[in-house]
Structure 1
């Protein structure tokens, strides 16, 4: 009898556990489903009562209208080019800076790192006007350089990589030096391969930040040909009329690259979460 009661209790606990997980899964997925449904229906069905939850047949119409309004292919190219180049260059800069601040001992090292940390406390909006004036002075507005360069030396990326470098055994670096390996070779062949989880996590963070960046591209671009996705989608919001079908198609398209980028790096990202990095 006691054994049956114990098994029933376990089944009940498992039932409530799975039930709760299913509820949270539905809550998490529903906004994406509603976004997709909205992209396949006319804008008049977005706020009907009861709400429209079935897939419609207006997706191609909304996509055509979106392309006519903002030139979606050019906008997606701008966002992809800016985000990927930014991630690549920022990873190089932040990784080298973090490695120097974690494994090289020189005067003022902690002061430099503290300066990076303090810069994170400066509101991003406070840098907009100085950046705008600088880009105007050098006639760099409305260029890819203006969209990519200002945040390449990203303090949080340096902090994240530095913490991972600190966990790497310094004894391996010393052994490589004794064997005659140069500093660049040690960095590329000894240290960096074990940093793949950290690099993946940093790359995902940098890509999402740049892909969703709205304020600076809005200020730095002066023509529709240079618009990124957030700026282009914001231009669809009119004073008297908003075509939600177009906007939902645009948001759907904007979501896809982030999902693909995460899926490409998920193996390294998850392995980092599970603690597969080398530790001393």
Structure 2
């Protein structure tokens, strides 16, 4: 059997807005994939060339040739949201999102919320219909991966409620913060540790990562409720005129209300705008 290499490339035939000087909400490079042996993260394709996206803040999100991807990583029971994992409308956003959520390869250089927001913006830039993009953003924001914005110490003082890795944050007045979403019930340390992956980066300091939980019980029903709410909220032409930032704010509020945040994974920091990285020349 012939080996699976970049020579067996699969062009992704989708019309994308390509960046010119100073462009935003646009793509760079060339998007082709080639098959690879299935790895333990479920990746079955890799990028043939460098490919990137410049978001609305002028931040460049660059992938590199050889980066693996599993496409739109939604389990079979949730395929009604997106269709196939490698549907060409979703692949451009998904391959970039995959890189910046990658736990094993330490590509999580931006906070999880900013990374998921980039995914939503890339979906819209690709031409995904607003209603579907909103539901996909709700799914990724609510059930997608999350990670700490910086390394944590065991017993580190952080915002929000008590967790196995954090102590209650106390304001100068002596009272706890009240502006963060709080769990309905106290978090069970044993259950939290089942969800978290800890990587010790130096003695006593850890990166904390919660993988995607799309397959958890109740996710499908929750997404159907969210779809009903979102479709009703954006059912008029006026509501559709709201900006992507306003729509993301609404979706995040809806999610945070239905799923109070885990304090250790709260992440408000936005990426620092940077000059978009220029892709290497595409081979002839």
Q: TM-score range by the shorter chain?
A: under 0.3
* Structure number having the greater strand percentage: 2
User: Normalised by the size of structure 2, how large is the TM-score?
Assistant: 0.21
With CA pairs under 8 Å and 6+ residues apart, which has the higher RCO, 1 or 2? 1
TM value normalised by structure 1? 0.21
Greater helix content: 1
